[in-house]
Amino acid sequence: MGIEEMFAGMDTAQGSNSGVFFTGGNYKVELTEIEYRPNGYKGKSVFFRFKVLESNNDEHKPGATRVWICKLGKKPDEDKRTMADIKNLVFALTGTTLKEVGSPEQNPKAHQQATSFFLAACDKSYADKNNIPQDALIGQECNLECQGVQTKPKPGSTEPGTFTRHIWTPAEAA
């Protein structure tokens, strides 16, 4: 198959302005995949893929697939915040919150368990060695609130930037 046949119809394909990332709104989501990329975009990255189950954002309707990407390998302080965000997602997927669990000093076992679930999802050898199913988090549901946050302008710019804050909470019991 030639390149023209492979991409036949591309010229008339309709795109979406919403992209694959979550934007402001409230969602109920199901985790469908975790992919660790040791050599991802600008360093190490973890891609979390979700199926939108419920949404109050018309750009991200139920059935849509969305991605949350966590980049690591930047600065130690930023990596710690990113790892804490990942752990908050794992807590939500397993039916609890950081507030309920407490700090790592207060409840080291819960924090280690959340970390182990995540490491198992990223690495089959870790999952096998620790007897944790690699797909233990896949298919789990949680709630997500996304808030747009304005940042200071970057050097050389007068326009402020934005990022999306992701707040993960357990899905309500049915």
pLDDT tens track for 79-94: 888 999 999 999 999 9
9 Cβ contact partners less than 8 Å away, ≥ 6 residues apart: none
At residue 107, the pLDDT reads 93
pLDDT tens track for 41-69: 667 889 999 999 999 998 889 999 999 99
pLDDT surpasses 90 at 5 = no
Residue 6 pLDDT grade (very low, low, confident, very high; cuts 50, 70, 90): low
Measured at the CA of 63, the angle between CA 12 and CA 140, to 5 degrees, comes to: 140
Residue 77 pLDDT grade (very low, low, confident, very high; cuts 50, 70, 90): confident
Between the CA atoms of 121, 126, 131 and 133, what dihedral angle is there, to the nearest 10 degrees? Answer: 20
pLDDT tens track for 127-169: 999 999 999 999 999 999 999 888 888 888 888 888 889 999 9
Residue 7 pLDDT grade (very low, low, confident, very high; cuts 50, 70, 90): low
Q: Which helix (H) or strand (E) holds 89?
A: helix 76-93
- Rg (Cα) of the chain, in Å, rounded? 18
User: How far is residue 84's CA from residue 128's CA, in Å, rounded to a whole number?
Assistant: 24
At residue 142, the pLDDT reads 97
Residue 32 pLDDT grade (very low, low, confident, very high; cuts 50, 70, 90): very high
At residue 143, the pLDDT reads 96
